């Protein structure tokens, strides 16, 4: 027995986005307790030329959604980037998880050898499906989930590794 592309994409991303949603919930609780406007956290960045929390969350979900759609040969649903609250961002993550769960393992059968193209600003990246998952989709989703966590930690939200890994609930 080997592992499926579905296990390493849909299952991994659904879990990671659930943890991100929980991390945001802890951010909302912390803001309420400390009497901080949550929009301050949503606009926070680790460097002036890094993206703020809102964009980190939107992008984490979009990379997961678009990656699974690409691997399945589907057109991914498009979400407008119009969230202005933690609650709205969490709803977007839930919609993203719903999409991920809607893609059955059978739709990803054989996707490890599928040609995947990722158009970018400077150039188009080209991968086989397996390499796309190993070197692009998985690292990228965790980059944005971790950076969202790091932004909240940097802003005094009490979070620990268990919140990130999902063992806390």
10 secondary structure, DSSP code: I
> Shortest approach of a second copy to residue 11 CB, angstroms?
6
Among 82, 113, 115, 124, binds a second copy (CB under 8 A): 113
Q: How many C-alpha atoms does 57 have within 13 Å on its Cβ side?
A: 34
12 binds a second copy (CB under 8 A): yes
Distance CA 76, CA 65 (A): 7
79 binds a second copy (CB under 8 A): no
Distance CA 8, CA 74 (A): 18
143 binds a second copy (CB under 8 A): yes
> Contact, 127 vs 118, CB < 8 A?
yes
95 binds a second copy (CB under 8 A): no
Q: Which of residues 87 and 135 has its CB atom nearest to a second copy in the complex? A: 135
- φ, ψ dihedrals at 40, nearest 5°: -65, -45
> Contact, 143 vs 82, CB < 8 A?
no
112 binds a second copy (CB under 8 A): yes
Q: Which of residues 101 and 135 has its CB atom nearest to a second copy in the complex? A: 135
166 binds a second copy (CB under 8 A): yes
73 binds a second copy (CB under 8 A): no
117 binds a second copy (CB under 8 A): no
The closest alpha carbon to 57, from 13, 17, 30, belongs to 17
Question: What residues contact 10, with CB distance under 8 A and at least 6 apart?
Answer: 68, 100, 101, 103, 105, 108
- Which residues lie near a second copy (CB under 8 A)? 1-5, 7-8, 11-12, 15-16, 19, 46-47, 50, 110, 112-113, 125, 130, 134-136, 138-140, 142-143, 146-147, 149-150, 153-154, 156, 161, 164-167
């Amino acid at each position: 027995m080997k592992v499926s592309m579905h296990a390493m994409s849909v299952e991994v991303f659904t879990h990671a986005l659930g943890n991100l949603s929980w991390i945001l919930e802890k951010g909302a609780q912390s803001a309420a307790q400390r009497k901080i406007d949550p929009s301050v956290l949503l606009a926070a960045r680790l460097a002036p030329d890094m993206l703020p929390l809102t964009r980190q969350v939107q992008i984490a979900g979009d990379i997961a959604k678009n990656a699974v759609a690409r691997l399945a040969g589907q057109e991914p649903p498009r979400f407008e980037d119009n969230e202005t609250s933690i609650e709205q961002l969490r709803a977007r993550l839930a919609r993203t998880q719903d999409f991920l769960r809607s893609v059955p393992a059978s739709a990803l059968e054989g996707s490890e050898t599928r040609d995947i193209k990722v158009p970018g600003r400077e150039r188009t990246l080209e991968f086989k499906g397996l390499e796309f998952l190993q070197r692009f989709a998985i690292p990228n989703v965790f980059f944005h989930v971790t950076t969202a966590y790091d932004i909240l930690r940097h802003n005094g939200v009490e979070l620990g590794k268990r919140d990130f890994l999902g063992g806390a609930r």
